C-alpha cells in the first residue's frame, strides 16, 4: 500500500505542524471568499491583487515564530510572488518554505446542498480526481491538505444522521486518499455557530460528529499519527442568550475532545469560526491554561481571526502595515497556544467576524 511508504514522513510532517507555541495560517479562501474580504476594504478581486496580498503574507518576516504551516488555495500554490513595488519574485510557496513554514493546500471543492438532508445541510465535494490533485500539490511543495465539511445545528433537527454520516465518510475518504500520496490530512468537521442553541447542545452534537468521524477514519485505515484535527470550539449558537466565559468554553471544549479524539492524533488546531480576533485568542489561551498536559498539541488554524486586521491595515496599499498587524495576531495566538497570552497585549480589531451560513 502506498500509504505504508509515507508513514514516517506523514508522522514527521504532522509533528512539525504541531510545534509548541505555533499554529497554522489559513489563507485558503476561495476566489469568491477572498473577493468578499477585498470588497470590505475596497480592493478589486483581481488575480494581481490576490497575488499582492498573498505575497504580503509570505514575506512577513518573523512569521514562522508562531506559524508552522500555511493553508493555500490552489491558485496560490502555483503563483509567483511580487515584491512591495510589484516586481516579480520567486514562487509564493518558496517564500513560505524559506522561512520554514510548511505549505498546505485546500483540496475540497466546496459544499453543496445534501439531497435527502434537512434544510441548510450540505455535503463536501472534491473526491473525483482527488488523488491526482493531491499528487500534483505534493509535487509543488504541499505537505498537508485541508477538507472542510460543514454541519449545522437547527431547531428543525439538524444535524440529521444522514449529514453526520455523509460528512464523516467524505472526510475519511479524503484523508485516506491524500495520505496515499504523502499529504497529512487536516480533518475539519466544522459545526457552524449559526443558531440559538445552548453549549450543552453543541457539546452533544460535536461528540456525535467526532465519534462518527473517527469511526470512519478507522474503517478507511487512516494513519492517525499522520493527521491533524481542525474542529470548531464547543460554544453555544451565536444567538444563544447565555455567553460562556473563556474558562467555561475551555472546559466544554476539552471535555468534548477527551471523550472523542484518540491520543494518537498529534494536534488539534481550532478554526476561529467567526469569533473576533481577541476572542479567538482568549479562548485558545483558556484551553491551554486548563490542559497543560493534554495528549495533543492545542493550537490554531485561523483564517478570519489572523487576517482581519492585516487586510484592513493593508487595504491594497500598505504592505508593511498589513504585515505588522498579521505578526501581532500571530504572536498573540502563538502565546495562547502555550496558555501564556496576556489579554489585550497585542493590537486587534474587535469587529465581529461572524457571518451566517459561512462558506470558505
303 is a site residue for ligand 13P (CB under 6 A) = yes
Question: Min. distance of Cβ 205 from ligand 13P in angstroms?
Answer: 18
Residues 259 and 229: their CA atoms lie apart, in Å, by 14
Cβ atoms of residues 159 and 152 within 8 Å: yes
360 is a site residue for ligand 13P (CB under 6 A) = yes
Q: Which of 230, 277, 278, 346 is the catalytic position?
A: 230
CB closer to ligand 13P, 71 vs 181: 71
Is the bond leading into 60 cis (omega within 30 degrees of zero)? no
Three-class SS of 158-198: CCCHHHHHHHHHHHHHHHHHHHCCCCEEEEEEEECCCCCCC
CB closer to ligand 13P, 197 vs 304: 304
User: Among 305, 311, 325, 326, which residue interacts with ligand 13P (rule: CB under 6 A)?
Assistant: 305
Q: What DSSP assignment string belongs to 45-99?
A: --HHHHHHHHHHHHT-TTGGGTEEEEEE-HHHHT-EEE-TTS-EEEEHHHHHHHT
310 is a site residue for ligand 13P (CB under 6 A) = no
Q: Does residue 188 have an active-site annotation?
A: yes
Sign of CA dihedral 229, 204, 239, 160: positive
Question: Min. distance of Cβ 271 from ligand 13P in angstroms?
Answer: 4
144 is a site residue for ligand 13P (CB under 6 A) = no
Q: Which of 121, 166, 188, 279 is the catalytic position?
A: 188
CB closer to ligand 13P, 273 vs 339: 273
148 is a site residue for ligand 13P (CB under 6 A) = yes
Site string for ligand 13P, 7-46 (x = CB under 6 A): -------------------x--------------------
73 is a site residue for ligand 13P (CB under 6 A) = no
Site string for ligand 13P, 179-208 (x = CB under 6 A): ---------x--------------------
Closest CA to 208 of 253, 164, 166: 164
Three cell numbers written together for 183: 499529504
SS3 124: strand
Angle at 284 between CA 295 and CA 265, to 5 degrees: 25
What do you get for the CA distance between the two ends of the chain, in Å? Answer: 33
Closest CA to 273 of 245, 307, 303: 303
Q: Where does this chain touch ligand 13P (CB under 6 A) — which range of 31-39, 56-64, 195-203, 301-309?
A: 301-309
CB closer to ligand 13P, 188 vs 279: 188
Q: Where does this chain touch ligand 13P (CB under 6 A) — which range of 72-80, 111-119, 297-305, 328-336?
A: 297-305
Three cell numbers written together for 132: 491526482
299 is a site residue for ligand 13P (CB under 6 A) = no
Question: Min. distance of Cβ 186 from ligand 13P in angstroms?
Answer: 8
- Counted residue by residue, the chain has a size of 360
Q: How many CB atoms lie within 10 A of CB 218?
A: 12
296 is a site residue for ligand 13P (CB under 6 A) = no
* Count of CA atoms in the C-beta half-sphere (13 A) of 311: 23
Closest CB to ligand 13P: residue number: 303
Site string for ligand 13P, 236-275 (x = CB under 6 A): -----------------------------------xxx--
Which spans of this chain sit near ligand 13P (rule: CB under 6 A)?
26, 148, 188, 271-273, 301-305, 360
Which residues are the active-site residues? 188, 230
Amino acid at each position: 500500500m502506498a500509504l505504508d511508504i509515507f508513514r514516517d514522513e506523514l508522522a514527521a510532517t504532522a509533528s512539525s505542524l504541531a510545534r509548541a507555541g505555533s499554529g497554522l495560517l489559513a489563507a485558503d479562501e476561495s476566489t469568491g471568499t477572498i473577493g468578499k474580504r477585498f470588497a470590505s476594504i475596497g480592493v478589486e478581486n483581481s488575480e494581481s491583487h490576490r497575488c499582492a496580498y498573498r505575497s504580503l503574507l509570505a514575506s512577513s518576516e518573523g512569521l514562522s515564530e508562531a506559524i508552522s504551516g500555511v493553508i493555500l488555495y490552489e491558485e496560490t500554490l502555483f503563483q509567483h510572488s511580487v515584491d512591495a513595488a510589484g516586481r516579480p519574485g520567486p514562487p509564493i510557496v518558496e517564500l513560505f518554505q524559506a522561512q520554514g513554514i510548511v505549505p498546505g493546500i485546500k483540496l475540497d471543492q466546496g459544499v453543496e446542498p445534501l439531497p435527502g438532508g434537512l434544510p441548510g445541510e450540505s455535503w463536501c465535494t472534491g473526491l473525483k480526481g482527488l488523488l491526482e490533485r493531491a499528487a500534483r500539490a505534493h509535487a509543488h511543495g504541499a505537505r498537508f491538505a485541508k477538507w472542510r465539511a460543514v454541519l449545522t445545528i437547527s431547531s428543525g433537527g439538524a444535524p440529521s444522521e444522514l449529514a453526520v454520516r455523509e460528512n464523516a465518510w467524505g472526510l475519511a475518504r479524503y484523508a485516506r486518499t491524500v495520505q496515499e500520496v504523502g499529504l497529512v490530512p487536516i480533518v475539519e468537521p466544522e459545526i457552524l455557530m449559526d443558531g440559538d442553541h445552548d453549549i450543552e447542545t453543541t457539546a452533544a452534537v460535536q461528540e456525535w460528529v467526532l465519534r462518527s468521524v473517527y469511526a470512519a477514519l478507522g474503517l478507511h485505515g487512516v494513519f492517525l499519527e499522520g493527521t491533524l484535527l481542525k474542529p470548531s470550539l464547543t460554544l453555544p449558537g451565536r444567538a444563544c442568550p447565555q455567553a460562556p466565559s473563556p474558562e467555561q468554553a475551555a472546559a466544554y471544549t476539552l471535555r468534548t475532545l477527551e471523550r472523542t479524539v484518540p491520543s494518537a492524533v498529534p494536534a488539534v488546531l481550532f478554526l476561529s469560526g467567526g469569533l473576533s480576533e481577541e476572542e479567538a485568542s482568549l479562548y485558545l489561551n483558556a484551553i491551554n491554561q486548563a490542559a497543560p498536559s493534554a495528549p495533543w498539541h492545542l493550537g490554531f488554524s485561523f483564517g478570519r481571526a489572523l487576517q482581519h486586521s492585516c487586510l484592513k491595515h493593508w487595504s491594497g496599499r500598505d504592505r508593511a502595515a498589513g504585515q505588522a498587524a498579521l505578526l501581532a495576531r500571530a504572536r498573540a495566538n502563538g502565546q495562547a497556544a502555550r496558555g501564556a497570552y496576556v489579554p489585550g497585549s497585542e493590537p486587534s480589531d474587535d469587529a465581529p467576524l461572524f457571518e451566517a451560513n459561512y462558506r470558505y
